[in-house]
Amino acid sequence: MWIKSNGCANPAGETQLRDSIMLFKNNGPEFPCPAHEREKSGYRITACGIRLDTNYPPGEHLRMTVRTKRTKPARISFGKPFWARFSPWFILGVAAILAPLYSWMALTNMTRHEAFMNQLLLEKGEALIRSYEAGARTGLGLHNWGYLELQKLLIETAQQAGVDYMVVVDGEGTILADSDPSSVGRPYGTDLNLKEIAGSGQVRWRLVPNPGGEDSFEVYRGFSPAANRPLFGQGGRISPPVDPETIRQMIVFVGLDTTPLEDIRKRQRNQSIAQGALFLLVGCAGFLILFVVQEWRTTRRSLSRIKAFSDRLVEHMPIGLVAVGNDGLIAACNRSAEDILGLVPGGVDGKPAREILPQCLLDLLTELRESGKTIEKELECPLEDGRTLPLETLATTLDSEEGTSPGSILLFRDITEMRQLKEEVARSQRLASLGSLAAGVAHEIRNPLSSIKGFATYFRERYRDVPEDSGTADIMIQEVDRLNRVITQLLEFARPMTLQRVPVSVAEAAERAVRVIAAQAREKNIAIEIKISADLPAIKADPDRLQQVFLNLYLNALAAMEKGGVLTTMAATDPDGTVQVRIADTGTGIPADDLERVFDPYYTTKPSGTGLGLAIVHKIVEAHGGDIRLESEPGKGTVVTFRIPGGKGT
């Protein structure tokens, strides 16, 4: 998984951190990474992120390699832009949902509107019929009123706006009066049940085709202007008599112009189409907004998870990380950096780097700004508490998308343990080489020594009466014996060590060694202190070899305290069950230049020493599966610490 961050670029260059380091994974415990797993996994660091190239379950051993490599500026990426994720099927799906919905709404609205317009026309037609009936009813009582007057009244009524025609027919469908006088006497409405219409008095309507334009909205019902009264005026009969039965069967038809209705219907249809497009647009926009909001929430959750994971990973990575902005303020500092530099946890963010970081790292940042190139180097870094840490460092600038640099980043780690491991490996290799060489040389020397000692013994006996010659022979014999002892020690050092492991009390082994050197310590006015708890668990070790370790270390301490002092022995148990023994003296100490060679064979700072004491101690401790470390300061004394596994042994 890549963890990228806005405005960050991977550091340039490439470095491989080669020692064993610690790694947190899946909230599991930290665990060491042995060297034989060196190339199995990777830890690729960008300026603000880490790539973990491994599928190891929590608790397994793995090797973590840190590499940095320049790439393009990194940024948070979630794939395509959200608008590019819309499939055409999504658009079609939205349209398939919204189009029928709006069509139904538009159809319902148009149907309701058309029904309303039809009702208006129906009421208008009925009002015209009533008006015509009222005029006819009034005219019946006037002089000279008859069919001709009905025709005239019909023509005048039909001249109102929006009226196409008016027709009055009898029960047989013969036109009695018409707004077009030429149509009088012709049949009309014969396709209807005229007698039923005349008798019911119910207003009805229908659409009648109009060759000259839009269909006419025709309203019709029974017409009874005079009920059973004859159409006679007061001045005499003008019109022919009408049969009362004909009057009861008269029907009036009013044809209304539907052009305004069609105009309204067209406007309504256009309006509905426009509303439909707007509705579809608003609907799609609504779906789009919902989708964008959901994407925003998903992206926000993803960013939160990535940020939490990245922060946790960077916080627990075993490499110190410090980010410094162009303003000189510390933008980020993880826990490892605080531990390495001895900083106050969580108290450095936002503070000036010149007040927090040691001068060696400030100089590295200055060099980075001047060169603009990634810098990798090992530094000896003095700290405020007096320590001097060897650091492996990498400094690089951060690149933003605009091509500017928002700041710098420092990656560093304490390589003290790595140097100690290298020294141990080099020492072991030297000891192995010297041991092999010494074994061969010792065998070659021992045979001539036997001959020399034999001749020296012969000459001592022969010249017993000559003191000078006899003394010379004694010196030769003593030197041969001393040389033979050295060769014996050398052979013992060179050959593989065999241990007879039994449960051994560390306190008892120390006390036995103290009894051997007690007289010599009293002569030099040296106080001996043994601070070992009685409940310290026993270890499985070779008792003779363990006593030899104590004895050799005690003898070296006595040799360093010619003017008296204190020899202290302490022991404690580590959490893993390992027993740790510390032997401290207040002697002259060892120069710093000699510390790296004190465990080498035949290296000694004493005029009478053989240089094998500490080398043998080192070999015995390693044979028990332990390790030994020596710390010394000239004029203040020396502390030797060795660790041997506890009861189970190895």
Beta bridge partners of 523: none
To which H or E segment does residue 643 belong? strand 637-644
So what's the pLDDT on residue 511?
92
- Distance, CA of 590 to CA of 567 (rounded, Å): 16
Radius of gyration for the alpha carbons in the chain, expressed in angstroms and rounded: 58
Pick from 407, 212, 260: nearest CA to 325:
407
- Distance, CA of 4 to CA of 309 (rounded, Å): 11
- Distance, CA of 91 to CA of 283 (rounded, Å): 11
Q: Are 583 and 554 in contact (CB under 8 A)?
A: yes
435-to-340, 428, 432, 481, 498 alpha-carbon distances in Å: 39, 10, 5, 21, 16
> Which of the residues in the chain have pLDDT under 70?
1-91, 94-95, 139-146, 225-248, 400-403, 431, 434-435, 605-610, 647-650
DSSP assignments along 109-160, one per residue: HHHHHHHHHHHHHHHHHHHHHHHHHHHHHHHTTSTT-SHHHHHHHHHHHHTS
**Residues 328-354, buried b or exposed e (16+ Cβ, 10 A)?**
ebbbbbbbbbbebbebeeeebeeeebe
Amino acid at 415: I
524-to-43, 515, 516, 562 alpha-carbon distances in Å: 58, 15, 14, 6
pLDDT digits (tens, 9 = 90+) for 571-592: 999 888 889 999 999 999 888 8
Q: Which domains does the chain have, with CATH numbers?
A: 22-77+319-414 (3.30.450.20), 82-313 (3.30.450.20), 419-494 (1.10.287), 502-644 (3.30.565.10)
- Distance, CA of 208 to CA of 165 (rounded, Å): 11
Q: CA torsion sign, 358 to 363 to 368 to 369?
A: positive
Amino acid at 500: Q
So what's the pLDDT on residue 50?
36
Maximum separation of any 2 CA atoms in the chain, in Å: 207
- Distance, CA of 648 to CA of 503 (rounded, Å): 9
- Distance, CA of 553 to CA of 528 (rounded, Å): 13
pLDDT digits (tens, 9 = 90+) for 252-288: 999 988 887 777 778 877 887 787 778 778 877 877 7
Extract the runs of DSSP E, i.e. beta strands, from 285-436: 320-325, 330-333, 375-382, 388-398, 407-414
The CB density around residue 205, as the number of other CB atoms within 10 Å, is 18
DSSP assignments along 405-440, one per residue: --EEEEEEEE-HHHHHHHHHHHHHHHHHHHHHHHHH
- Distance, CA of 557 to CA of 584 (rounded, Å): 8
| 128 phi and psi angles, rounded to 5 deg | -65, -40
